[in-house]
Amino acid sequence: MNTFQRFLKARKMRWSDIPLWVFGMLLAVMWCAPFVWMVSTSFKPFKDIMTRNVEWFPRTVTLENYIKVFEQPVARWMLNSLIVALIATTISVMLGALAGYALARLHFPGRGILFGLLLASLMIPGEMTIVPLYVAFLKIKLTDSYLAIILPFIANVFSVYIFRQFFLGLPKELEEAAAIDGASRFGIFWRVAFPLARSPTVASTILLFTSNWNAFLWPLLIVFDEEMKTMPVGMSEFAPGIGAHTQLVGFGPAMAGITLLSLPSLLIFILLQRRFIEGVSRTGIKG
């Protein structure tokens, strides 16, 4: 048996699998290609972008697109997105942990009904609440602020669900010991139960951070002030059908901007790939 045959055997592959394997890997490379094309375009000078020659690697590397995109308040948009995503995620993870703990552990009338209501609300698309929330927020003049962008997102049902499932499976002994020592309910939760809940905390943080970072329709509606826009909304003005930027300056600055916009979520995904995929397959929501 030669080394190549051993290599195949160790990987449970047969000779006849090789074409399939090559085809699959090519598909995977192709699936990534739009990202490569985005980054590559972002570093090309204008004349190398609007051309019929396909060049995957820029012949001359330039930062002019990045300089040009910063003529818009991109730094401010990034900061807004970061603030909004961090606050909204932190609050919804904390509220989810508290409610999830109570629904799993504490015994009180209405517990089952409330949990049923949560599950039922998952069937209702978020867009159902957009119009009435918009009407109400305009009525009380709550627009153009972090509070306005964050508020509808703080009560996240998935976060409650993830924590409830975790606490249901967690043995009670440690908490009972703390109760005998005279700790209060909140003390037990905060010092004993929550520190053990690392995996649901990480899972819901990753999921909610990316979904808050990418949120589109609500921030698009509730923000009128250019300075208060979030990055996804601000960058959408580079779409040829919406703003006039791209018609004036070509696709270079747009690609530079969305490279910056996709960086945080792609980095989190690369670093925490396994946790990310676990979280998604457990809840069935997209990041």
Partner 1 sequence: MTPDSTMLGKILDRLRKARWQGRPINWSGYAFIAPFFVPFFIFTVGAILFGVYVSFTDWRIVGQTQWIGFKNYSDAFADPMVLKAFWNTLRYGLVIVPSVTILGFIFAVFVNQKWPGYVFARFAFYAPNVVSATVIGLVWVWMLDTQYGIVNQYLGITIPWLTSTQWAYLGVSLASIWWDLGLAFVLFLAGLQEIDSEVREAAIVDGANRLQVMLRIILPMMRPTISMVITLQLISTMRIFSQIYVMTNGNPAGASTSVIHYIFTNGIQKFKMGYSSAISLMLFGVILLVTIIQLRFVKENSYQ
Residues 163, 245: Cα–Cα separation, whole Å: 44
By CB under 8 A, name the one of 43, 158, 166, 251 that touches partner 1.
251
The token pair at 17 is 């699998």
**Shortest distance, position 110 Cβ to partner 1, whole Å:** 8
Tell me: does residue 119 bind partner 1 (CB under 8 A).
no
Question: What is the footprint of partner 1 within residues 26-65 (CB under 8 A)?
Answer: 27-29, 31-32, 34-35, 37-38, 41, 49-52, 54
- 3-class DSSP state for residue 171? coil
Neighbours of 33 (CB within 10 A): 11
> Which parts of 151-250 fold into alpha helices (H)?
157-169, 173-180, 185-187, 194-196, 198-214, 217-222, 231-235, 245-249
Question: What is the footprint of partner 1 within residues 145-184 (CB under 8 A)?
Answer: 151-152, 154-155, 157, 160, 184
**Shortest distance, position 211 Cβ to partner 1, whole Å:** 9
> Which amino acid, residue 217?
L
> Which amino acid, residue 17?
D
Tell me: does residue 233 bind partner 1 (CB under 8 A).
yes
By CB under 8 A, name the one of 113, 124, 140, 180 that touches partner 1.
124
Question: Measured at the alpha carbon of residue 128, what is the angle toward residues 111 and 239, in degrees to the nearest 5?
Answer: 130
**Shortest distance, position 198 Cβ to partner 1, whole Å:** 20
Give the dihedral of Cα atoms 273, 274, 279, 284; nearest 10 deg.
80
Alpha carbon distances (Å) from 124 to 111, 135, 287: 21, 19, 18
Question: By rule CB under 8 A, what string of x and - marks binding of each residue 84-113 to partner 1?
Answer: ----------xxx-xx-xxx--xxxx-x--
**Shortest distance, position 280 Cβ to partner 1, whole Å:** 5
Place of tokens 């009972």: 176
Tell me: does residue 25 bind partner 1 (CB under 8 A).
yes
Q: Which stretch binds partner 1 (CB under 8 A): 17-25, 59-67, 172-180, 195-203?
A: 17-25
By CB under 8 A, name the one of 85, 149, 228, 254 that touches partner 1.
254
Tell me: does residue 284 bind partner 1 (CB under 8 A).
yes
**Shortest distance, position 109 Cβ to partner 1, whole Å:** 5
Helix axes 251-271, 273-283, angle to 10 degrees: 90
By CB under 8 A, name the one of 75, 242, 244, 271 that touches partner 1.
242
Alpha carbon distances (Å) from 237 to 223, 229, 250, 276: 14, 11, 13, 30
Residues 249, 238: Cα–Cα separation, whole Å: 10
**Shortest distance, position 219 Cβ to partner 1, whole Å:** 11
Question: What is the footprint of partner 1 within residues 198-227 (CB under 8 A)?
Answer: 210, 213-214, 216-217, 220-221
